[in-house]
Structure formats: structure tokens, C-alpha cells
Amino acid sequence: MGAERRQRTARIDADCRMGELPQFNDFSLEALHDALDAQRRASGHSWARATREINRQTGRRRGGGISVSTVRGIGLRRAAEGDGVLQMLLWLDRNPESFVPGYEERRDVSAPLPKVREDEVLRIDTKKLHAALDAKRAELGMTWAQVGKDVGLGVANLTYLAKGTRTGFPQVMRLTGWLGRPTAEFTRTCSR
């Protein structure tokens, strides 16, 4: 390791210890629940009907859709499966950043989610997300452990994304927040 890289690594380590790196607020599953409930009430829907609407918009029906208990209980969870949250956000016509405290002032890191057809589902593109994280990590001369410390996730959580596995909320928002890029950039549509 060259002297310049060692110095940069030492600065990053010191900043991490001193808490000087930006802290990322988590995506609020409770606020998502409140928005779902408000839209459900405004539409005069029961939770079951609201869930059918969420599933219908992307062709997710029985045997493959989001359950009523998942939608109704989303605010009680610490983490939630990413694909399901994306479908809920589509139903609300909201972007993920709108559920992260402090993002109101940072419109530059938010964008609308892409629209999907009834035979498609919106997913987090974890391979693309991993590639972006790896590029920024390398640019900053950081290790995966340092990135993990910044975002509050383990190294395995970060490197496993390269396999194209699924991820969830709020984790994905920590990663896109660290990148300073909209979550919509890291989504892809898949046929049902």
C-alpha cells in the first residue's frame, strides 16, 4: 500500500472514530405504514382491499403477492423485504427518499420510481448497487470494512450484493445515501 493510500485510510479511520462522516437516517417503515393507512382510508379500502390493489398494479396476485399482514404490519418491523416495499411505494406514487427523515432538503438524491406494467415487478438491482459501492469504495481508497462501518452494515451484507441477491429496507437506503444517489437508479423491472 502506497504512502498516500495509507494516509487517506488513516484519515477515514480517524473520521469514523470521531463521528465526522455523515450519518444516514434510516428509511422509516412506520412512516410508510402511516402513508399506506392514510391512502387506504382516503380510498375507503380495508387493509385486504388495499393489499389487493398493491398486488394488482404489478400482477402480483395469490401465491406470489404481498400478504395483508405484511402490509398492515409494515410499521412494526425493523426491516422489510425490498421488492414488497417497492410495490407499496408504487401504489403510493412516492419515492423511497420521501420516507427518510432529512431528505426533504436533498431533492438532488431523489427521483421517481419507474412505472411498471401489470406483468412486471420492480426490484432492487443489487448487482448494479454493488458495482457503484465498489467503485466509490475504490475511489476513496476504503476497505469494505470501512464502508460497512460508515453505513452500519456488515461486510458480508455488502459483498453479497454482487451475487444479485435481494436486499431490504432500510439497508438499501443507507447504501444509496452513502453513494449520494437516488434509489430509483438502482431498480430494475422483471417479468412476472
Q: For 30-62, write each residue's pLDDT tens digit.
A: 999 999 999 999 999 999 999 999 988 766 554
Would you place residue 15 in the very low, low, confident or very high pLDDT band (cuts 50, 70, 90)? very low
Give the mean pLDDT of 92-116.
81
Here the cell at position 65 is 403477492
Alpha carbon separation from 123 to 7, 37, 89 (Å, rounded): 39, 23, 12
Q: For residues 176-190, give the mean pLDDT.
A: 92
State pLDDT tens for residues 62-101.
456 899 999 999 999 999 999 999 999 999 999 999 998 8
pLDDT, residue 8, reads 43
Instruction: Report whether pLDDT(26) > 80.
Output: yes
Going by C-alpha positions, the residue among 34, 46, 41, 35 that lies closest to residue 91 is 35
Mean pLDDT over the full length of the chain: 84
What pLDDT is recorded for position 179?
93
- pLDDT computed for residue 63 by the predictor: 52
Residue 27 DSSP class = P
User: In percent, how much of the chain has pLDDT > 90?
Assistant: 64
On whether the CB atoms of residues 160 and 88 are closer than 8 A, the answer is no
